[in-house]
Structure 1
Amino acid sequence: MTKAPDLPGATVLVERRRRHTLYFLEYAEALRPVHLDTEIDMTRVLAHRAAARERGVRYSVVSYLLHSAGRALARHPEANAVTLPSWPSRWRAPRTARFDGVTAKLALDRTVDGERTVLSALLPGLQDAAMDDIQRQIDRYRDGDLSDLPEFRGPRLLGRLPVPLGRLLFGAVLRSPARRPGIFGTVSVSSLGHRPVDGFYSTGGTAVTLCLGRITDRAVVRDGAVAVAPVMRLSLTFDHRVIDGGTAADLLGELKKTLEGFDDGEGSAGSDLRGADQDLRTGRPVAAGTR
């Protein structure tokens, strides 16, 4: 951190901790993002969370989306894909890589060396991962010491390298289809639901990016009557080079249906919803809990 000679009172930061983000943004300029969104009635998810919490199990809202998205993308392999960079792009047809497994790239808001930064955690095998397994992975990234987690060696290395070399390394890694799931994942997920944010849209470098807003009580219509229900805005950004709007809308609709009728089907600690029947009828959340 140094003082800027031509800007009295200003501080110039050497943004080593954010270089991986800046390299990604340069890559993302080639994407062709289109944005969709919908509102999700989260009554059943919150009932599931409350039932689990009574048994000493905590699930984050993000875990429910990851559980649902893994299975939905396995049924829509055309959306579990990415367009690979090609240079010069005007002379070569774009190449699309489809992946067998579903790996989420989950954006994390962490503090590194006293500064807030965004890091990406990878959660593989979502197509058949149990809720407990998903939550265990999230907890590891949330609570772990970043200096001890090997998954974040790449961003640390990019922050140490000279900028030209960092750009070259970043671009070279992205050209390999086999390495993409282990670097960018096959679907991107981000949440700002812990803040007063209803909805937002971002592009994570994959064919599909999912973004969660906050859960808040809203008026909904059920059986012709107005009720109060916990509602969450879910946005889906898709790369138009990879899929079209119809496929993206189908995927978003499937996620909405799955979350609104959530049942993990695993007999886990939170799967018993019978005690929440009254809350499901009225539309009131059993317990808001934490994200």
Structure 2
Amino acid sequence: MSGSAGSARDPARTHSERRRAHTLYFLEHAARQRPVHLDTDIDMSRVEAHRAAARAEGRRSSVVAYLLYAAGRVLHRHPAANAALAPRPFGARGPRTVRFPGVTAKLALDRTVDGERTVLSALLPGLESAALAEIQERIERYRGPGAAELPEFRGVRLLGRLPAPLGRLAFAAALRDPRRRPAVFGTVSVSSLGHRPVDGFHSSGGTAVTLCAGRVVDRAVVRDGRVTVAPVMRLGLTFDHRIIDGAAAADVLGDLKTTLEEFDDGAKGDGFQTFVRGTGQDLRT
């Protein structure tokens, strides 16, 4: 019995495959990348203190929101990494790179739809200037009940209904025009497995840079020659070597590390500095 016949006689399998159609088309696209992987450990003391101050005021702030906040600022400062490849006009040699003025994150979300786990990718535009509270509000929208039925995921639902050849063509057509890329694919990919005992991982999100966050866990760090304990998160960065080189990617990762370790959202009256003084914490990096 052929595989296709087997699928036709197994409605549950067919349904599952259709639900994951967008993921399979994406993987075919991402396979063209030339991924290189970097990682670093980030002292999250300031971020965790800021989160604690927010909780004291009845506000939720997820670690992913801080990473998105930092990613927006950092990618805006490194436009070569906020870019994509686009085909050159007919007759020209080689691909060309298109840089984007704004930063749009493609955030991978683990959702349960009709009793089955699937990955949905939410787009968060304007991260170069979005406030932390605004970013958290967007995340909550995509994590809420019925998120899979939001208008933003209409394209994903359509891909699942199309026959595979048409779905593959539709996916490719959506990415053909580089000017539309941020609105359909984002300019940077972000994924987190920090809710599980995962220290670090790497993936290729189809963008020039993909950020992968592990858990935040207490570890020994050295400050001023002394060993102390601090909350540490491992951050992986995968870059597409067709678009940027290793030195540029290392600059991006270093800037992300500094931005998170010296976190300051510039907000006034949020109780952060008051909280820190009250606890007597040393948040030097």
Question: Normalised by the size of structure 2, how large is the TM-score?
Answer: 0.91
After TM superposition, where is structure 1 displaced by more than 6 Å over at least 4 residues in a row? 3-7
Task: Please report the RMSD computed on the Cα atoms of aligned residues, expressed in angstroms.
Answer: 2.5
Aligned to 1:78: 80
1:84-103 Cα shifts (integer Å, max 9, x gaps)? 36799x98511222101100
Distance in 2 of aligned mates of 1:276 and 1:251: 34
Change (3 A) 1:26 1:130: same
Is contact 1:35–1:235 with CA below 8 Å preserved after alignment? yes
Is contact 2:49–2:276 with CA below 8 Å preserved after alignment? no
Is it true that 1:174 corresponds to 2:175 in the alignment? Answer: yes
- Which secondary structure state, in structure 1, belongs to the residue aligned with residue 39 of structure 2? strand
- More displaced stretch, 98-107 vs 265-274: 265-274
Is it true that 1:47 corresponds to 2:58 in the alignment? Answer: no
Distance in 2 of aligned mates of 1:85 and 1:16: 30
Aligned to 1:289: none
The 5-angstrom pairing of residues 187-198 of structure 1 reads 187-198=188-199
Distance in 1 of aligned mates of 2:72 and 2:272: 18
Which amino acid letter does the alignment assign opposite residue 241 of structure 1?
Answer: R
Deviation of 1:229 (Å): 0.8
Aligned to 2:22: 20
Change (3 A) 1:69 1:91: same
Change (3 A) 1:71 1:169: same
Deviation of 1:132 (Å): 0.7
Is it true that 1:257 corresponds to 2:258 in the alignment? Answer: yes
Deviation of 1:193 (Å): 0.2
Deviation of 1:274 (Å): 3.1
Aligned to 1:210: 211
Distance in 2 of aligned mates of 1:29 and 1:91: 24
Deviation of 1:112 (Å): 1.2
Is it true that 1:279 corresponds to 2:281 in the alignment? Answer: yes
Is it true that 1:145 corresponds to 2:117 in the alignment? Answer: no
Gap runs ≥5 in structure 2: none
Distance in 2 of aligned mates of 1:18 and 1:279: 46
Change (3 A) 1:126 1:271: farther
- More displaced stretch, 25-34 vs 79-88: 79-88
Change (3 A) 1:64 1:158: same
Distance in 2 of aligned mates of 1:202 and 1:85: 24
Change (3 A) 1:252 1:171: same
Aligned to 1:108: 109
- Which secondary structure state, in structure 2, belongs to the residue aligned with residue 25 of structure 1? helix
Change (3 A) 1:130 1:44: same
Which amino acid letter does the alignment assign opposite residue 79 of structure 1?
Answer: A
Aligned to 1:33: 35
Is contact 2:141–2:147 with CA below 8 Å preserved after alignment? no
Gap runs ≥5 in structure 1: 284-291
Distance in 2 of aligned mates of 1:157 and 1:180: 18
Matched-pair identity in %:
66
Distance in 2 of aligned mates of 1:261 and 1:4: 54
Aligned to 2:66: 64
Is contact 2:69–2:135 with CA below 8 Å preserved after alignment? yes
Number of matched pairs: 278
Aligned to 1:227: 228
Which amino acid letter does the alignment assign opposite residue 225 of structure 2?
Answer: G
Is contact 1:81–1:98 with CA below 8 Å preserved after alignment? yes
Question: Normalised by the size of structure 1, how large is the TM-score?
Answer: 0.89
Distance in 2 of aligned mates of 1:197 and 1:86: 41
- Which secondary structure state, in structure 2, belongs to the residue aligned with residue 46 of structure 1? helix
Is contact 2:19–2:118 with CA below 8 Å preserved after alignment? yes
Is contact 2:49–2:272 with CA below 8 Å preserved after alignment? no
Which amino acid letter does the alignment assign opposite residue 162 of structure 1?
Answer: P
Distance in 2 of aligned mates of 1:86 and 1:30: 17
- Which secondary structure state, in structure 2, belongs to the residue aligned with residue 141 of structure 1? helix
